Amino acid sequence: MKRTQLSLWGCLFCLAIVTPSHAQDLTVEERMRQLEQRLHEMEQRNRPLEGTTPAGQKPQTTDPTAEALPTSGSTILPEIGQDSRRPKQAPLSFSTSGSGTMIYPKPFVNAPKAFVGGYFDLQYRNHRKDVIDNGAGSPGSNPGIGSTNSSFDQQRFVPFIYADITDHVKFASELEIEHGIREGTETEVSLEFAHVDYLFSEPVNLRAGIILLPVGKFNLLHDSSLNDLTDRPLVNQFIIPTTLSEAGAGLYGTLYPGRYAKMDYELYVTQGPNGYQPDGTGRIGEASGLKNSRQRKSLTDDGFDNNRGKAVVGRVAYSPVLGVEIAGSGYHGTYDPESKRSLSIVVLD
């Protein structure tokens, strides 16, 4: 009622302003009496409208922020349609700045487009003879004692995260856990790769971090879901120990030399191999190949380089038509503490 009276007083005030000039002859008391009479008449007319809301029906209120709701004939959209057109509070999310509506402030995580997934291998082995995969021929092995028993093993568990931080900044990572059921030295947990890309243009882009080295096609596409068997080829176990990854930085891109042709390239400077233990014992041999010289297997503190030399690795792949590709890869770096002995790998695929 107070709101109605205020509105009526406002209307009467406007009427008083536009009163004809001949009303100026009336006294102030007479004009106030007329205004009070008009107010009383308007209250009498509005009083029957009060309390006429049917039982069980909410009185209609005017929401100045609500948008006009579309109707179908004389039927208003259901409540869900009304709710979808009303302004809603932004949900809780990650942000670079903390406030009452934000949780866990993290840099570069405003509204990312991220993908989380992974894969794992489950093997059942029933060997009748000692083979390379169950330790035959490796130093300290004892063939014939437990090595030929049947067994289940989850050889690999690989979760991955890919995210578009901005239109030009991309992030990619994979974590590899081998033989996760075991304890001790046989359980390997390491970052397969984790790098950030800055996209300048399709021909030239920058990559830095733990990089999956482009030494052969298989080292780049070694995921078990792409292969027929969970065991990797012997070449990729001993000569190119997949996964072969090192910390470094470099460039990559794609060129189009012809109408249907495509050429991809990658070129990086990386940490390089570590072929010696701190006591001077070699880590490259016939039984284990090169796999113990990888940076992830390094015995130096924090996996740092054992010399001042760095490795250079690159790959160029040419595809004349869709589905056909020929590529060449190269890797060169020093592996001894004096940086006098070099290791080179050349691959054609």
Using a 10 angstrom Cβ sphere, with 0-12 exposed, 13-18 middle and 19 or more buried, the burial of residue 341 is middle
Q: What is the pLDDT of residues 15-66, one digit of tens each?
A: 444 444 444 456 777 888 888 888 888 887 777 655 555 555 555 544 444 4
What residue type is assigned to position 159 of the chain? P
Q: What percent of the chain has pLDDT over 70?
A: 66
What is the per-residue pLDDT for 111? 54
What residues does each domain of the chain span? Answer: 113-348
pLDDT tens digits, one per residue of 277-316: 888 888 898 888 998 888 888 877 666 888 889 999 999 9
Q: Collapsing DSSP states into helix, strand and coil, what is residue 303?
A: helix
Distance set, CA 90 to CA 87, 93, 100, 163, 164 (Å): 9, 8, 12, 22, 21
pLDDT winner (highest mean) among 39-43, 132-136, 231-235: 231-235
pLDDT in tens, 334-345: 999 988 999 999
Q: Give me 133's structure tokens.
A: 């995969």
pLDDT given for residue 34 in this prediction: 84
Integer-rounded Cα radius of gyration of the chain: 38
Model confidence at 193: pLDDT above 90: yes
Q: Is the pTM of this model over 0.75?
A: no
122: Cβ contacts below 8 Å, ≥ 6 apart:
152, 153, 154, 155
